[in-house]
Amino acid sequence: MSVKNRMSGNEAVANAIRQINPDVIAAFPITPSTEIPQYVSSFKADGLIDTEFIAVESEHSAMSACIGASAAGVRAMTATSSAGMALMYELLYVAASDRLPIVLAAVNRALTGPININADHSDSMGARDAGWIQLYSENAQEAYDNMLMAHRIAEHPDVMLPIMICQDGFITSHAIENILLEDDGPVKKFVGEYKPHKYLLNTEEALAVGPYSVSPFVIEMKRAEHEAMKNAKQVILDVSADFAKTFGRSYGFFEEYRMEDAEVGVLLMSSAAGTAKDAVDKLRERGVKAGLVKLRAFRPFPNDELAEALKGLKALAIMDRSDGFSATGGPLNAEVRAALYGKADTKITGYIYGLGGRDIRVEDFEDIFGELADMLTGTELPYCRYRGVRE
């Protein structure tokens, strides 16, 4: 049964890890993800888990240890943020190419330059092409739920890819929220036991993990990753359906909020969705047909499904919490436009917002919806621009 509680996103994720009781956790502290390994080490000290906790000297070492553990045939997890993820960068590609289902709790924080410890998505977006599944969480409940589903998705034999469960630093990771925690027994039954197909400690079969790959093999390996990421789409839906059946909370590739008859809409990820929903509700009271789509799965990207959800809109704002520095906007802006190309006549504009933790308010979203309404009367808006900048 579900038990009501109050906790932060970091504590919620740590409790999911306690319930999963993975074989190995290797982690190095970095704000704002530090609390996750802190909680886990306390669980270990109190005898609540028998996980092997490896306190390493860097995030590069943390991912290296996870790769070794996963290759040996056990469940391995870690947590990081920002520059910590950047220090793992080389190993992120190794984990994916070696098809190791490592789970990473990614607490999104601006990637250094300038130095900042607050939320944006530049860290995980910088790793968007590394071959990792990426799920984004609006609040502590979703971060907890996504973590419970992570192993089932990553370890599926048709997938076997690492996965990162993302939540916004401080906004979600440190804010205390009401949350439903599931009992340990049902969680363990839902997650199940990991039974690796191939692993280094299998004495019955010789295996090499991560050898030098000469030219005749690299493209075949990348094609296999490509197909695995495509397979992950159905697995995400299947695991989410089983989660809904077991625990009563439903998830898909994205959430549609008041989109049934929406004419103007916003698309975004993570914690800002809650603020945007408040704006949608206020506008609906005034008779504005506003709606919202909150993307949960960025990798794999739900191209066709998203196009179907958005095609009825007359105007759409795509909101990025990172800049792709392509001189045309952020990564979400580029991928959503590509998904809609040739499938909709929707007028589109992009925004970059919230970098380094800059707040975005209900009033900001109301203004954005107003600008979308202006587009319907012929006003030309830029391809993409910054929102909330002091000019």
Burial of 345 (0-12, 13-18, 19+ CB in 10 A): exposed
User: Cβ distance 33 to 173 under 8 Å?
Assistant: yes
Alpha-carbon gap, residue 84 to 311, rounded angstroms? 38
Q: Which domains does the chain show, CATH number per domain?
A: 2-247 (3.40.50.970), 254-386 (3.40.50.920)
Alpha-carbon gap, residue 296 to 379, rounded angstroms? 31
* pLDDT tens-digit series, residues 374-383: 999 999 999 9
User: Cβ distance 145 to 187 under 8 Å?
Assistant: no
For strands 103-108 and 52-55, give the pairing.
unpaired
* Long-range residue pairs from 277-282, CB within 8 A, at least 24 positions apart, any chain: 278/362, 278/365, 279/362, 279/363, 279/365, 279/366, 279/369, 280/365, 280/369, 282/362, 282/366
192 phi/psi in degrees, rounded to 5: 75, 180
Find, among 82, 96, 89, 102, the residue nearest to 24 by Cα. 102
For residue 249, give Cα distances in angstroms to 144, 161, 166, 271, 335. Answer: 12, 25, 18, 18, 28
Alpha-carbon gap, residue 334 to 329, rounded angstroms? 7
Alpha-carbon gap, residue 209 to 212, rounded angstroms? 9
- pLDDT value of residue 211: 87
What DSSP state is assigned to residue 212?
-
- pLDDT value of residue 1: 76
Alpha-carbon gap, residue 107 to 328, rounded angstroms? 26
User: Does the predicted model carry a pTM greater than 0.85?
Assistant: yes
- Dihedral, CA atoms, 210, 211, 212, 216, nearest 10 degrees? -90
Which residues, in sequence order, are CB contacts of 95 under 8 Å at separation 6+? 63, 66, 67, 70, 102, 131, 132, 162
* pLDDT tens-digit series, residues 285-338: 999 999 999 999 999 999 999 999 999 999 999 999 999 999 999 999 999 999
How is 369-391 classified by DSSP, letter by letter? HHHHHHHHTT----SEEESS---
Alpha-carbon gap, residue 320 to 330, rounded angstroms? 6
Residue type, 53: F
Q: Which residues of the chain have pLDDT under 50?
A: none
> Measured at the alpha carbon of residue 276, what is the angle toward residues 352 and 271, in degrees to the nearest 5?
75
- pLDDT value of residue 127: 97
- What are the helix (H) ranges across the chain? 9-20, 35-45, 59-72, 82-87, 89-97, 122-126, 140-154, 184-191, 215-247, 272-285, 303-310, 331-340, 362-376
* pLDDT tens-digit series, residues 27-65: 999 999 999 999 999 999 999 999 999 999 999 999 999
